[in-house]
Each structure stands twice: as structure tokens, then as C-alpha cells.
Amino acid sequence: MDILLSSPYFAGFLFFIIAFAYSSVGLGGGSSYTALMSILGMNILAIPLVSLTLNLCVTTIGSFNFIRYHHARFNLIMPFLVGSIPMAYLGGSLNLPKEVFYWVLLVSLLFVATRIYFWKNTSIKLSLNRRGKIVFSLFSGGILGLIAGIVGIGGGVYLVPLIIIAKLGTEKEAAACGAIFIWLNSVAGLISRLQHNSINLADYLPYIIAVLIGGTIGSFLGSSKYSGKTMEKILGVVILVAIILLTRKIFLF
């Protein structure tokens, strides 16, 4: 496996698969990009910057496709955005120790895997009026934005299942909200981090091309062809592999 991971072509293929699987359910793939780059041994300061850039590439396409097929509900996503964007900027300004960074990332992946394999039919009926839902969305958005900014992901990995579990929207609407949420939070996190660090994107061009292709195909199929359940199963396999490899990285580091 180590020999395969050292090949830039195989790594590019993995970025393609991640983008394809995540974009199909309205996600950017930031958590798995970050995990993969951590496994590849990339610079801890560069990882969030590259991950957020890849997120932007994928969710730009994903947002377009889900909006084009009329799955976006801006009254649903707006309170989450108001709460999350400033907190994503704040989180992006924090530099955590490498060990903490890896553990927060691993918990993120475990959360998504648990949602896919154990909480499929779990739902919580929120008996809230319109004002209560707005407060809930603002508070939740703030927490998700802070975590997203710290780890260098868009936060949709938390938002999409939250919308579904809380029955705030359908799977397609959650996916659309996730894509838009990730795009804007990635912008906020990236702006914050670029004030302290910088990267040469030309060094990561193969990865950018891989996620653009994967994101285009995945978001098109997810928004227009296949059911959310089908695409979620593909995503689940990708996340399980990332969890195994990242766990190995943490405990053998």
C-alpha cells in the first residue's frame, strides 16, 4: 500500500474517487482529502490550504448542478451560513498541534461513517417554530463553521446528515445546502489561512484536475440520476478506507 500511495498517478486516482463519491451527496470531500494528504505525509500547514482549495473546486460544480435541478432552498441554508462563515474564518486562524489535528479529523470521519451505516433511518422531530429553527440553525452553523475552519474542511460533512436527521429538508435539499455551505465556508477558511501561510497551487495541479473531473461526474449523477442512498453507499466505502489508513497513520506515527 505504501508503494502505491507513493505513486502520483495512484494518488490522483484516489482524489478522483473521493471527489466523485462526496460530490454525489453534496459534499466537497475535504475530510477525506485531508486524511489522504496526512497519510501521504504532506506538510501539516499545507494540508488545510490544499484541502480547502480542492473543496472549492468540487463544490463550485456541485452547487451549480444541485441549483440547476432545483434542489437548493436558500431559506434553509441562510441561517446556517450566517452562523458558520465568521466562525470558519476564526477556526482557520488557529494552528493546532499535529496530533490534535489528526484526532479531530478522525472523529469527523467516524461521525460520517456512523451516520451512513448506523443512523440511516434515524430522525429527530424538532417541535420548533420559525424563530426556534432559525436559532437552532445559527447555533449549529457556528459550531460546524468553527470545526470546519480548524480542520480545513467545508463542514458539509456534518451539515448534510444534520439536516436529514432533524428533518429540516429532503436528501436532495440537504445535498444542495451542503454544497453551498462548503463552498462559502471554504472561502472563509482559505482567506483566513492565506493571511498566515501560502502555497503554490501549481504543485497540486494533478490533484485539482482529478477532483474537478470526479466532482463533475459525481454531482451530475447525484443531482439528476441516482438516488441519495445509492451514492451514500459509495461514499461509505471511501470513508471506511480513509478511517483505516488514518488510524494506521496516527498509531504508527
More confident residue, 56 or 152: 56
Residues 176-198, mean pLDDT to the nearest whole number: 81
Question: 63 exposed, middle or buried (CB, 10 Å; 0-12, 13-18, 19+)?
Answer: buried
pLDDT of amino acid 18: 87
pLDDT of amino acid 210: 93
More confident residue, 152 or 93: 93
Residues 128-152, mean pLDDT to the nearest whole number: 81
pLDDT of amino acid 243: 78
Q: Is 70 exceeded by the pLDDT of residue 226?
A: no
- Average confidence score pLDDT of the chain: 79
Q: Is 90 exceeded by the pLDDT of residue 213?
A: yes
Categorize the per-residue pLDDT at 236 as very low, low, confident or very high, splitting at 50, 70 and 90.
Answer: confident
Residues 222-229, mean pLDDT to the nearest whole number: 68
More confident residue, 90 or 166: 90
Among 65-69, 124-128, 243-247, name the one with the lowest average pLDDT. 124-128
Percent of the chain with pLDDT over 90: 4
pLDDT of amino acid 157: 73
Q: Is 60 exceeded by the pLDDT of residue 105?
A: yes
Long-range CB contacts (within 8 A, 24+) of 166-172: 166/123, 166/124, 166/126, 166/136, 167/123, 167/124, 167/125, 167/126, 168/76, 168/126, 168/133, 168/137, 169/73, 169/76, 170/71, 171/25, 171/227, 171/228, 171/229, 172/66, 172/69, 172/71, 172/223, 172/228
pLDDT of amino acid 209: 93
pLDDT of amino acid 15: 92
